[in-house]
Amino acid sequence: MEFTEVVRARRMVRRYDPDRAVPREVVERCLANAVRSPSAGFSQGWDFLVLSAPEERGAFWTATTEAGGPSDRWLDGIRKAPVLVLCLSHKDAYLDRYAAPDKGWTDRDERRWPVPYWDVDTGMASLLILLTATDEGLGSLFFGVPPERHADVHEAFGIPRSRTIVGVVSLGYAVPGPRSPSLRRHRRSGREVAHWGRFGVAGEDA
């Protein structure tokens, strides 16, 4: 697809065909594009844990949901995704990088950072996975892990405590389903969100 077409076609997909496997090479292309994302100081403080085997995905859902708890249409649909990619940020990679001689800081003081760039950069990398999935004809979704379940996921997959779970990307072939009620909301246009020169000032032709 052309880039603009990919951007317009991307959707958050919550229903997948459980009988259509995603080829490994397609997942690898998603990850190859993810690492082209920008990162402060070229710190590249991200890791991606791919869960594609049924027992791996089962362990994820066991770690993130209540045993015997009620299910719902949202969860039932996502559980059928054949691939889950856990997007992990690594704060220490950034603190170490900016304490290096060429960056000029002499300490790893986290207060120097106006926002947690390790999470921001991992989020941007995750978006490249979503866009690549669309270009490959896949459906995809970015979703979070409940904070109280993070420790269980770390333990289930041997994730170092130095890594933070920013979110999860589900990948698979989409199947038709009801549209999210959130889509009834108005999509703000570029003109509506743009401020020129000073907040609250619209473009001349707005």
Query: Would you state the pLDDT for residue 178?
Result: 67
Best CA proximity match to 133, nearest among 40, 50, 38? 50
Q: How much of the chain, in percent, has pLDDT values that exceed 70?
A: 97
- Residue identified by tokens 């997909």 is 13
Phi, psi of 172 (to 5 degrees): 170, -175
Query: Would you state the pLDDT for residue 181?
Result: 72
- How far apart CA 140 and CA 134 sit, in angstroms, is 7
Query: Would you state the pLDDT for residue 205?
Result: 54
C-beta of residue 54 within 8 angstroms of C-beta of residue 21: no
Phi, psi of 136 (to 5 degrees): -90, 0
The shares of helix, strand and coil residues in the chain, as percent rounded to the nearest 5, are: 45, 15, 40
- Residue identified by tokens 């979704």 is 141
- For residue 143, the SS3 value is strand
3-state SS, one letter per residue, for 33-74: HHCCCCCHHHCCCEEEEEECCHHHHHHHHHHHCCCCCCCCHH
Alpha helices in the chain (DSSP H): 3-9, 24-34, 54-64, 73-79, 91-97, 117-135, 150-157, 190-193
Question: What is the average per-residue pLDDT within 97-111?
Answer: 87
Q: What is the dihedral of CA 150, 173, 178, 186, to 10 degrees?
A: 70
Which range is least confidently modeled, 3-7, 65-69, 86-90?
A: 65-69
Going from the C-alpha of 201 to that of each of 19, 187, 188, 190, the distances in angstroms are 51, 20, 16, 13
N-to-C CA span, the chain: 30
Question: What is the average per-residue pLDDT within 168-188?
Answer: 84
Phi, psi of 28 (to 5 degrees): -65, -35
C-beta of residue 98 within 8 angstroms of C-beta of residue 112: yes
Domain parsing of the chain, residue ranges: 3-178
Which range is least confidently modeled, 79-88, 115-124, 178-187?
A: 178-187
Question: What is the average per-residue pLDDT within 49-55?
Answer: 98
pLDDT in tens, 125-161: 999 999 999 999 999 999 999 999 999 999 999 999 9
- If you average pLDDT over every residue of the chain, what do you get? 92
Model confidence at 206: pLDDT above 60 = no
CATH number of 3-178: 3.40.109.10
